[in-house]
Structure 1
């Protein structure tokens, strides 16, 4: 028997497939012709194409050599058999004896058990498995590297065709639906409460390549180098803006980015793809997919960031090649932003033009979440694969209360969602009527409700929400959204505008809480095994006195004779607070000596976010002007459960008996020393949690503005003495959480949220 000719090049394959791409046949006919051409060119008895029919299932969609009756009948899950293994791991399988290869699955309807030589490659687009391309031989045959490479290139072309809907144009593909056409549901996590109905606006627009094969490599090379020339111009303009100091770390990052844009190896690999017969766009995507694959295996954060630069450059180059202009800010009124992730500065650029945000990645304490909360835009995080499913203009429903997202929803889902939106609107009208009323419980106790803020955009909510002041102003956001440290005069001007917007109401400025997850763009990140418990907040400020001193000076000048309240984050022990407090009063005296106006009054407080500070010496509670319990950090340290880790974040409950008892002890200690105490954090804005915190003795709560109405509504219908009795009874009964008892009490008293 003659040995079959091996090593059909990708160039030959693509030339023969070009006519298939150009014909006007339906989707199934195209697939049938493709498998026949590939089998003939590679001299194999079998060629089969399996495409994904749902997220985890493959369907045999075309074959040359297997039983034709198995088409659209044979299905397998990712990971099942050799074909499923290719799809699951995104890696080729090349074996000379398939039936004896671990993982082989016998499928009698295809008659494939008689074939020994097997080569399967993933059909992928930017790392996502869309299917598997397989060739097989009866004889024992290990396919060559040329065969493997050629089949991988063809698989990439098939992926582009599938993405463009080339195989579903006539709706004849059995169970395979056209891409981006069916309703999709995503279960993410809550970022910012609220609901919204709108249309998708992609932060990185989806690029569909309709002609993935080129018959003129020279023309494609010219297109590539023209796009590269424009890309280099864009990058050079970024360097010439003067937005960063020439000697700073941010400048180093931009120079590295510019160097990557001219990297000869990166460009050569793209040129190689064009020489094989690929269109320039597909060759760029081929290299981009390789970059993402390498990124997925990297643990070094610096290297991952550098490869992220290459990934971003690839996208920019694709946009230039496809002629797609950067119209990310030309958006409709009901736009819901969909992105893999986004930084705070980019999100601020969109501003209030968005009605919702859905991120494929992100964390609950990320900068984007903080900005979204400041802008009161509903946000859902970790909605996996949404950037690959969504198209510009797709209808979308986002529920920030539950973390649910409906893309291209069915009419029944849309109707139910609109009912929920109407109910929320009705509730907001009811809360608006309470705006001028105090949060006074039935027992006569009044709880002061303040708002959290971090942007000038927050301040209008001070009036509209009915907040009595700003219990926490996060000063670090001004630093996070800029490429270099804001100057003293810029900071002072901002703090002055904030106090102006406060209209005489108390505003508490928290000094820089940076480090951990809040790394400034111009600050070299530190390699810490547990950054949340590392060099951050007041610890960083006391080590870098220049930054802290400049901010304190800016706050004093911004006050310009008005009352000033400053508090330090993450205080763990008395001596830290004493050092920071001394710095504030030393700077205040220095400002007066320089002829600047002293604040009318100066309060220096501390955030109690570590259990250790609750047990500080009495001297701390005697000298501190006020204490703010930082519930978000305190809870994670109390329960030893990282709030960024979804596996453990939901394991603890604010209404846990141990935690509530601890809060009660803090309140009692502050009361003994006449130290004003408040509670600040997400839990303060949850009505049931706020009710219980108030019953434990807290009389000042600070929360996001949208939560003030619901919390006030519940407090005004409850007797805090009765609530405290329910809590005490639950504690005495040995219950782990008081939540069931409180919910039962509310139900028995016909008190709804």
Structure 2
């Protein structure tokens, strides 16, 4: 067709729908589609290339090229013009294709006689599915209307590909969302789980991309826009109850919702034959394509606002969304782009696992997952695009691997692994009430980490001797405003009630870095992990710190109180924080409130600098807790959020173990109790080595106490220390191989 008018475009989409409705096997449908596109656009060639895997395109159907090339011709991303279209997600329109940079001649297809080339990406909301191509012998550039028509057809093909309507069962390419997929990410919380996907924010599935009644679709679109604008107006009517940033976001949304250009473009798409939903999604895909090329952060955020607004409109038009989606399965594995602590807590402990496309190992979602002992994978790129509600999923939180829709062999091997772990847990139950005493008679105290009231029942079930770390920031993170002193005092009192006399070490507010309070003005920092966080915030925001200390004193209600300050880097910080607590004790006494019968004031040693603090620090501190997660990343200068370096350095590196020994020696010299708290404390091999170098108290997640206790009770720590010392003398980088060999002889 020389000029693709709106009527002709709609006519082409109508023919496409008829071709799909006429049934037949997947290959037959593809062949029918390429024939009708070539016929409608008056071109000699129409070809459909689909992704076989993330890097490889396969010719799946053609009209005009050699039939024997179908399912035989393949190319990589950026290979040839088709590969360039796929890689860049941009159309290529050329009157002389063989002269285009990167052109690849494929003799098996017979395409050498075709000069003109028009290729457009087949994609849906950023998910690449393939490339649609038309070619002709006449050397000409295709018109803008022809380009538009092919882009619309490509979008409809993307919808049909997603729904599995193009390639059927038994075809050479399995439909999207039916193939097994493997995703790799960061370990937020260790553990393994099998279950079924439950999407936190289900993607809208457009089941009717083509319409033959533009008037009705225009009416639906305008009604949806009216509903969208009304909902935003209602939210803004309550602006007096919101923080300024929330109001600004809603104002931006309303500006986009009232954009005449946005509405006009969607109306034009409907006139060309798309449904209301498909017109919204077409504009959304265009915005996402622009988002990928915009360098300015502010403009990217504005395009992201438009993306979110499009999702809201799609939910209105389709009736799909969180409230109307699939029921949560009993074995739900939560899959989300990201999630806040309040939203995660609403799900409760019933989740089998959590998989996030974004997130970090130090986020509040990770803190909650650790408290619940639920496997968590972060930075599983692409999973929210690929996963559908109800998909089978296997989560290996130990390796950071997610198997989506796994084949039978993978499932069988995974279930064998789960069965072995269940047997081990039964063995640990039998030693729950026994002490962690080594073969050589050394006693190691094992404590648990917590952050929620719901964690406290694990004190009994795990066999923990107390709570070595109670994270107090969760109560701040899940609220939209600063919690009241009375609320916190009541919570701390209930925590101590649940501990039933066992020691609970309350860590004061540890915020900053990636734990940002909704009601605190965010600060842009080049490296938040090294920035304004934890004790630094507390000493600068004395009002919040004093309020929390008062709540801790009142919550104790005369019982023993243990408080530790996080991220102390130098003696003065600890001394100032300690003085603040002592002043609050004096104040509470003057007010007539009961004082704790005993107060322990300690510090978390998470920076190498504190290990070299003056002797007076160790003498003044009632106890020291080594915060292993932060200490290790600063010791090795390896960001624990960076998967490329966080696994590069072994905890059993002789330098790190020697550093821990120096800390223990300083504490022994001043009679200061010292413990190790962090992920590594819950790993049996690491834990037993910590005990061998002199650490006699470890704090970990409740589920780790059994495995750690089991190994300590089987190990002669004196002999293990000799193994570590011999490794140092040999000049090894890590003593892990020697330790593993020694432990294998012990078992």
Alignment TM-score, normalising by the size of structure 2: 0.95
Deviates more, 1:508-517 or 1:19-28: 19-28
Deviation at 1:735, TM superposition (A): 0.7
Deviates more, 1:590-599 or 1:23-32: 23-32
Change over 3 Å in CA distance of 1:13–1:62 after alignment to 2: farther
| Residue in structure 1 matched with residue 366 of structure 2 by the alignment | 369
- Matched-pair contact (CA < 8 Å) for 2:480–2:519: yes
| Residue in structure 2 matched with residue 310 of structure 1 by the alignment | 306
Deviation at 1:263, TM superposition (A): 4.7
Match of 1:725 among 722, 726, 741: 722
| Residue in structure 2 matched with residue 38 of structure 1 by the alignment | 37
Q: Distance in 2 between matches of 1:667 and 1:172?
A: 64
Match of 2:512 among 504, 507, 515: 515
| Residue in structure 2 matched with residue 439 of structure 1 by the alignment | 436
Deviation at 1:10, TM superposition (A): 5.7
SS at match of 1:54: coil
Deviation at 1:239, TM superposition (A): 5.8
| Residue in structure 2 matched with residue 283 of structure 1 by the alignment | 279
| Residue in structure 2 matched with residue 164 of structure 1 by the alignment | 163
Match of 1:465 among 462, 466, 474: 462
The alignment status of 1:711 with 2:708, answered yes or no, reads: yes
The alignment status of 1:690 with 2:687, answered yes or no, reads: yes
The alignment status of 1:188 with 2:185, answered yes or no, reads: yes
Deviates more, 1:220-229 or 1:534-543: 220-229
Deviation at 1:29, TM superposition (A): 3.7
- Matched-pair contact (CA < 8 Å) for 1:249–1:523: no
Deviation at 1:247, TM superposition (A): 4.6
SS at match of 2:714: coil
Change over 3 Å in CA distance of 1:275–1:582 after alignment to 2: farther
Deviation at 1:236, TM superposition (A): 5.4
The alignment status of 1:494 with 2:479, answered yes or no, reads: no
| Residue in structure 2 matched with residue 625 of structure 1 by the alignment | 622
- Matched-pair contact (CA < 8 Å) for 1:17–1:37: no
Match of 2:731 among 734, 737, 742: 734
Cα shift readout 1:135-172 (whole Å, capped 9, x = no counterpart) = 22223222233332222222111111111122134x47
SS at match of 1:521: coil
The alignment status of 1:130 with 2:126, answered yes or no, reads: no
Q: Distance in 1 between matches of 2:252 and 2:453?
A: 34
Change over 3 Å in CA distance of 1:219–1:395 after alignment to 2: same
SS at match of 2:743: helix
| Residue in structure 1 matched with residue 23 of structure 2 by the alignment | 25
- Matched-pair contact (CA < 8 Å) for 1:201–1:338: yes
Q: Distance in 1 between matches of 2:242 and 2:396?
A: 44
Q: Distance in 2 between matches of 1:266 and 1:600?
A: 67
Change over 3 Å in CA distance of 1:478–1:657 after alignment to 2: same
Change over 3 Å in CA distance of 1:724–1:297 after alignment to 2: farther
- Matched-pair contact (CA < 8 Å) for 1:451–1:702: yes
Change over 3 Å in CA distance of 1:445–1:501 after alignment to 2: same
Deviation at 1:392, TM superposition (A): 1.7
Q: Distance in 1 between matches of 2:5 and 2:164?
A: 26
Deviation at 1:121, TM superposition (A): 0.8
Cα shift readout 1:281-314 (whole Å, capped 9, x = no counterpart) = 1122222223333443456666555544433332
Q: Distance in 1 between matches of 2:640 and 2:296?
A: 23
Deviation at 1:220, TM superposition (A): 1.4
Match of 1:702 among 699, 703, 708: 699
Deviation at 1:673, TM superposition (A): 0.9
Q: Distance in 2 between matches of 1:246 and 1:499?
A: 35
| Residue in structure 2 matched with residue 82 of structure 1 by the alignment | 81
| Residue in structure 2 matched with residue 538 of structure 1 by the alignment | 535
SS at match of 1:723: helix
How large is the Cα RMSD of the aligned pairs?
A: 2.2
Deviation at 1:7, TM superposition (A): 4.2
| Residue in structure 2 matched with residue 120 of structure 1 by the alignment | 119
Deviates more, 1:589-598 or 1:659-668: 589-598
Match of 1:476 among 459, 473, 481: 473
Change over 3 Å in CA distance of 1:48–1:698 after alignment to 2: same
Cα shift readout 1:702-743 (whole Å, capped 9, x = no counterpart) = 111111111000000111111111111101111111111101
- Matched-pair contact (CA < 8 Å) for 2:10–2:271: no
| Residue in structure 1 matched with residue 95 of structure 2 by the alignment | 96
Q: Distance in 1 between matches of 2:548 and 2:296?
A: 33
Deviation at 1:206, TM superposition (A): 3.8
Q: Distance in 2 between matches of 1:417 and 1:687?
A: 22
Matches within 5 A, 1:543-622: 543-622=540-619
Deviation at 1:669, TM superposition (A): 0.5
The alignment status of 1:293 with 2:289, answered yes or no, reads: yes
Matches within 5 A, 1:342-361: 342-361=339-358
Q: Distance in 1 between matches of 2:133 and 2:9?
A: 15
The alignment status of 1:648 with 2:645, answered yes or no, reads: yes
SS at match of 2:123: strand
Change over 3 Å in CA distance of 1:583–1:248 after alignment to 2: farther
SS at match of 1:278: coil
| Residue in structure 2 matched with residue 70 of structure 1 by the alignment | 69
- Matched-pair contact (CA < 8 Å) for 1:364–1:644: yes
SS at match of 1:515: coil
Deviates more, 1:383-392 or 1:250-259: 250-259
- Matched-pair contact (CA < 8 Å) for 1:21–1:30: no
Deviation at 1:610, TM superposition (A): 0.8
The alignment status of 1:108 with 2:104, answered yes or no, reads: no
- Matched-pair contact (CA < 8 Å) for 1:479–1:520: yes
SS at match of 2:50: strand
Deviation at 1:692, TM superposition (A): 0.8
- Matched-pair contact (CA < 8 Å) for 2:326–2:389: no
Change over 3 Å in CA distance of 1:299–1:686 after alignment to 2: farther
SS at match of 2:597: coil
Q: Distance in 1 between matches of 2:430 and 2:419?
A: 17
Q: Distance in 2 between matches of 1:297 and 1:593?
A: 63
Change over 3 Å in CA distance of 1:295–1:17 after alignment to 2: closer
- Matched-pair contact (CA < 8 Å) for 1:20–1:30: no
Cα shift readout 1:513-532 (whole Å, capped 9, x = no counterpart) = 11111111222322211111
Q: Distance in 2 between matches of 1:640 and 1:185?
A: 30
Q: Distance in 2 between matches of 1:237 and 1:497?
A: 39
- Matched-pair contact (CA < 8 Å) for 2:186–2:643: no
Cα shift readout 1:92-148 (whole Å, capped 9, x = no counterpart) = 122222111111111111111222221111000111110101122223222233332
Q: Distance in 2 between matches of 1:721 and 1:668?
A: 16
- Matched-pair contact (CA < 8 Å) for 1:195–1:421: yes
| Residue in structure 2 matched with residue 448 of structure 1 by the alignment | 445
- Matched-pair contact (CA < 8 Å) for 2:516–2:522: yes
Cα shift readout 1:47-99 (whole Å, capped 9, x = no counterpart) = 21112233322222222222233223222222211101111221112222211
Deviates more, 1:280-289 or 1:33-42: 33-42
Deviation at 1:444, TM superposition (A): 1.0
| Residue in structure 2 matched with residue 324 of structure 1 by the alignment | 320
- Matched-pair contact (CA < 8 Å) for 1:514–1:536: yes
Q: Distance in 1 between matches of 2:585 and 2:242?
A: 33
| Residue in structure 2 matched with residue 140 of structure 1 by the alignment | 139
Cα shift readout 1:579-633 (whole Å, capped 9, x = no counterpart) = 1111111122112222222222222211111111111111111111111111111
Structure 2: any 5+ residue segments left out of the alignment?
none
Deviation at 1:414, TM superposition (A): 2.3
Deviates more, 1:439-448 or 1:91-100: 91-100
Cα shift readout 1:248-296 (whole Å, capped 9, x = no counterpart) = 5445445545555555554444334323321111122222223333443
